[in-house]
Structure 1
Amino acid sequence: MSADFDLERDAFGQLVLTLADGRRHAGVSVVRAFPLSAPGEHIAVVGSDGHELAWIARLDAVPPGLRALIEDELKQREFMPVIRRLLNVSSVVTPSQWQVDTDRGQTRFTLKSEDDIRRLGDGSLLIADSHGVHYRIPDLQALDRHSRRLLDRFL
């Protein structure tokens, strides 16, 4: 397993991409093309101008050290808490205040509109709060009865 590039962090913590021909690009970012449907595939390394500099077809084909650096960078970039259960919803009309338990602890957010709840192809839901933070429910059927009942009002 080898990549035709190398990534490392500089003294300031920024990613530096070194291509096979020796060209170096500082301040690059790692971005998933399909973060929900194909999280381990189709990952781009882009420059500060947003142009693609390197492409990773499959993350599992990247050497372990490089893969760990890429995964760490993606975790820092992508903040998408998973909702485990709904504790309370202020009203059935929007905007409404939601209190939820996530994989990162309990939180409250405002749902501006029912349109901010999207069904994804794999049976999961994506919920955007009023600040643009996205929450994911990986499996609607895995939620407890109380949570499903609260959510059914908006679906």
Structure 2
Amino acid sequence: MRCHMRRIYVDKYTGRIEKTDIYLIRLTMKDGTVYEDLEPRMLFPYTNHTMYITLLDKDEHEIGFVRDLEELDSDSKKALEECFKEYYMVPKITSVIEVEDKFGTLKWTVDTDRGEITFNIKNRHSDIKHLYGTPRIIVRDSNDNRYEIPDIDALDANSKRKLFSYL
């Protein structure tokens, strides 16, 4: 059983962050304590990219917390931004080529900023999210990959028609 630890707030005065792998960091505290293989995650990835970042160990226990990237030294900030660029890389859907509905599973073929992609969506109600008050749509496929339609209104008429009944 894990004992309850106090939350460690990390800023330029308390610790330093270094990127060690594609998504992983090392946290070195001012007192010399080192935490290896931490995974940084944004608590609000769709609405706030620079604040409220948790640092999780391999068992997904929170080790540290960053209130704001601006409170870090420039190297630590850069390390987190590089991790996020990889972890939160979300292809942007630019047009919808085809949508098929087979036995409740949707099969989408779309053009993205990274090329043509075909993927399946298991639950249209929970996996297609219109972000309240914005023209953004976030889509999650059956493999837990995310895609974004940055502005539903900017899609061509044919793409909008294909998506209409699912939004």
Q: TM-score range by the shorter chain?
A: 0.7 to 0.9
Contact 1:87 1:147 in 2 (8 A): yes
2:157 corresponds in structure 1 to: 145
TM value normalised by structure 1: 0.85
Match of 1:53 in 2: 63
Given that 2:51 and 2:67 are in contact with CA atoms closer than 8 Å, whether structure 1 keeps it comes out as yes
What residue number does 1:109 align with? 119
Superimposed CA distance per residue, residues 59-111 of structure 1 (whole angstroms, 9 cap, x where no aligned partner): 23323222111111112222422212112223497323211111222100112
Q: TM-score, normalised by structure 2?
A: 0.80
Question: Is 1:30 equivalent to 2:45 in the alignment?
Answer: no
- Secondary structure of the residue aligned to 1:153 is helix
Partner of 1:133: 145
> For structure 1, which segment, 42-51 or 102-111, has the greater mean C-alpha deviation from structure 2 after superposition?
42-51
Rounded to whole Å, the distance in 1 between the matches of 2:78 and 2:92 is 22
Residue 9 (structure 1) shift:
4.2
Residues 1:95 and 2:105 are matched in the alignment: yes
More off after superposition, 28-37 vs 43-52: 43-52
Note closer, same or farther for the CA distance 1:93–1:142 as it changes in structure 2 (3 Å cut).
farther
Which residue matches 2:129? 118
CA RMSD of aligned residues (A): 2.3
- What are structure 1's unaligned runs of at least 5 residues? none
Equivalent-residue separation in structure 2 for 1:90 and 1:47 (angstroms): 40
Structure 1: which amino acid aligns with 2:143? H
Unaligned runs of 5+ in 2: 1-10
Instruction: Name the SS for the 2:166 alignment partner.
Output: coil
Q: Give % identity.
A: 27
Q: Which moved more, 1:122-131 or 1:12-21?
A: 12-21
Aligned residues: 154
What SS does the corresponding residue of 2:75 show, helix, strand or coil? Answer: helix
